[in-house]
Structure 1
């Protein structure tokens, strides 16, 4: 599963943000080519199709106005980027308050008037008008991109009025109503096309932004899944390690003690030695059974359907060897606990008794299982061995802590040199 997720992550090289950059770059390139071609045609055609003899001064003025119009064109492209029409890879969708004073002044006193002046001077110098009519539509359309809808409509009204006045000077009379309506319809159509373009760009930018957020959320989800998978694997490895330690380790420890006792009694009391060897053999068989059970199903319960009290008492009896006295005390009314909790208590008792056999040098050990405290179950294992000044915290002790803490329980130790060792485990019911 993790391999599939990693393949998906590696395979998704093209992120929405990258797509937004690519689209923005391509759109900007198209606009630049379109604008450059339009400006070049607007400069060349009037000279190429001049209907009257050119004037040197007017030609110079015509080129100067064209340069001013080209500069204003570039600047309005900058305004487009600020207006939120572009995708903006770092901030794919950001609505901006359009119609600010500086932009309004630029269109009223800059872009629009320079366009009108260029058209007028070009007509005076060359008698040509034709293609330059398109420039008026473009200016009106770009105003729709820069301003909000209300301000754009006011600008269209202004441009229509300015054009009617300009046409009066160019042709020496007022336009017919039909011509004015036709011109205004052309402006309106151009503005609508640019407005639709603006809405489409905004919608696509929002889609890119949502897609980018979704992709980031999916990536975080994949990372969380991988972490959870690694954590689960670690917990399972620790559980298996505890199972091996608690089953094989305990069985081998008991067998070793039984055999050592049998060897010590072999010459003095052969019948007693045989009893210890038989017990060692029984423990060995049980250990093999535990190993087979663990291999068959690592989640199998060590209690095998029996009560916790019976299983713990039997475990205590198997540790009787070499003169070690054992005693078992059950307090309160036993009740059935979840399998995980009973297994944790059993393994804790098993590990505690193994430590008594290996390290305590004790003469007696007592095990108490208490249901007397409301809301919790307590297991205590105490010996009268040599004790210690501090708990070393080997793998067995660490395993007990891990098991009990996973169940929100507590583990306490009580020991001192010469005073024995007491382990207490408590878990909520």
Structure 2
């Protein structure tokens, strides 16, 4: 059976591809090469395979270029949107900081005004009490004088009824009584005038007290509004910061405690917090306002600690030019891939993602040209496959400093950056920090 099939195939090839002879003539001899049908079929098949492979490979390359161009344009748009959002967040953060500073100044001025108004209110209250005491004394004196006047009038009427026969003898006594009555009347008039003046002064003091109390209520309402705005601003500013550190797998309270313990004194807290209230000013309202002001200042101090921590942790992007993600963190081809690969143009600048110290700058097996930076809190970042290095071991770098250029050195199949984040030597997903930072920076 196989022989018959082979014979049929051979006969088919002889009909379609008859045997050919290729003559090769030289000066001394003539030779020929026999091209059998099977040989011709093999040559035709090989040529077809080569042509087909060339067409398929060309189509793949063209489609990859088209896809890369679309992906690059998309990444450029995303990068532009990210930069715009970064600028907006920076402006909003600066505006919030300016509003907080202005509100703090207004708060200090309001506290001073409250102190002045309280002093004025106490003075007015003391004056009112003095006026009430004076009015009471005058009213008592006026009552005593009026009783004396009534007694004198009664005595005068008795003397007038004594008769005309005794008028000559008692004339001088009647004149004395009349003079006394006139003196008492003048004294009563003066006393009444003084009473009216004191009453007017008391009314003025009460009106002034009411005006001061009204101004105090307005001032308290304004203070409450200022406190509410400050508390809202602190809350709005703190939420993305808390979320950023929480998403990065860090406890914000422990992080701030570590910052405070290692704080060097440059750019730290906003200053001393409010001192305790004096004993003579520790009423319920003052205690409540003091507690709210202390909470706001604590929040501002916490925000400042967050700012210091954010500068020391790798929340920024190592690239500012257009790029595309070519390999994520995790298992790849059965092996652990301990970073992310970001592909871009050859020579694209690479930037430090946080403040730190360079611990390695040179070739490393598998990484090619590698830069390693040690950061605070046991963190370390690695930047592999670089084409050039712009830093040296022991150099201190800040977030955003250029440390090298993208390349294709080491175990690499194309131009890209291999970026790693390690915590106490253990590799972590860098996208966790990058995505967390996008909420703030």
- The structure that is strand-richer by fraction is 2
TM-score of the two chains, using structure 1 as the length reference: 0.29
- The structure that is helix-richer by fraction is 1
TM-score of the two chains, using structure 2 as the length reference: 0.29
Point out the structure with max Rg over C-alpha: 2
| Larger RCO, structures 1/2 (Cα 8 Å, 6+ apart) | 2
